[in-house]
Amino acid sequence: MAKMKYSYSGGGSNFKSTNSQNRGKGKFFALLLVTLLLIVGAIYFSSKLFGKKEDNSANSAVTPVQNTEVKVSSQTTETTKKETISVVQENVETSTPAAPSQDTSTTQNSEVPKEISQNPPGYDQDFAALQKAFAETDYQTSKKIALDMLQKYGEADKAGPMYRKLGQFITKLNMKIIKNGLNDEKLVNYRINFGDNLTNIAIKHNFPVEAIQEANNLKSTVIYPGKSLKVYTFDWRIEVSKKAKLLYVYDGDKLFALYDIGIGKEGRTPEGEFKITDKIANPDWYSPHGRIVAFGDKENVLGTRWLKLEPINDTDAFHIGYGIHGTWDTGSITKSLSNGCIRMKNEEVEELFTYIPRQVIVKIY
């Protein structure tokens, strides 16, 4: 039994020694393999990394960087989106705009016609004379110069800037004359007779009661025989251009006043000849749905004045319910937004209402 124990022990010892040697060799080769793999991996990733940088460098040499955002992105992959946006904004705010090319400058200049950017020969001298006469309160001379200039420089285009500028000046001039009873070729010093009243004097001279009161600074309609009144006798007519969105007031063939207007949407403003048959201050509005909206209600679209239009002559008799009125919406002037009526600014329709009598013909085209 002792021999068997020894033989077993000796055999066990030799087996253990052999296994240890084998394990040592395995560890060596495993370590060698891992080392080789690490070296190969390092070479592979290094080539990828440096190859990418070389590609980026090559690309940047061919294509110049156009803005700071691209430049920052190519330098580092760790820049946040917030930082990139911040740099781009700073670059935009502090950079100096490039000067326009010769071609762009030429195109911009060609869009402004020379005849609009420059006044015609003689215009500046005439306008200086006009302003001088107006400043000296020589309104008759000022009005004559303005009308001559209108015919000379603006008659070719009644919607053009030259006509508008002169037309607005003539409007201002005429309002100053008739509101203050100033001298004019159309002024009549009417001597009041027994039996006269402002209404029959107004009808006789085609000049409304309100305008007579304003010209003579009358606070009431009471007048006295033997006294004189300043009254103007005009040959009124009105034209409305839908295309130009302008209302022209004429005394015969001479322009008396010019106003911007708004017209109907979708072509709803009718064309033809009409007559002013009624005038209402502070009007109620009868809506298309039959509702009566009182003056002062925010839904009342008529503004402060209403001049009723009725078709005459060959104009379609069904074109009823239209008129010239004010508006609270001044942004609608020069636009096509109404249901067909002609809109004016409240202060301007009040002006028109004062001096234009009933029965005046209005031509819309």
Q: Which residues carry out catalysis?
A: 325, 341
Instruction: Work out whether strand 305-311 and strand 336-338 pair parallel, antiparallel, or are unpaired.
Output: unpaired
Q: Which of 362, 129, 96 is nearest to 247 (CA)?
A: 362
Q: Residue 274: beta bridge partners?
A: 311, 362
Strand, helix or coil at 91?
helix
What are the angstrom distances between the C-alpha of 104 and each of 101, 117, 276, 314? 5, 19, 53, 53
Tell me how far apart the alpha carbons of residues 288 and 166 are, in angstroms, rounded to a whole number. Answer: 39
Strands (DSSP E) contained in the chain are 187-191, 228-232, 236-241, 246-251, 254-260, 263-264, 272-281, 285-286, 292-293, 305-311, 323-325, 336-338, 342-343, 361-364
- Say if residues 332 and 343 touch (Cβ distance below 8 Å): yes
Q: Which of 313, 320, 309, 318 is nearest to 359 (CA)?
A: 309
- Say if residues 296 and 263 touch (Cβ distance below 8 Å): no
Tell me how far apart the alpha carbons of residues 157 and 168 are, in angstroms, rounded to a whole number. Answer: 15
Instruction: Work out whether strand 254-260 and strand 246-251 pair parallel, antiparallel, or are unpaired.
Output: antiparallel
Q: Which of 113, 150, 112, 111 is nearest to 130 (CA)?
A: 150
CA-only gyration radius of the chain, Å: 46
Region for 168 from its dihedrals, namely left if φ exceeds 0, alpha if ψ lies in -120 to 50, beta otherwise: alpha
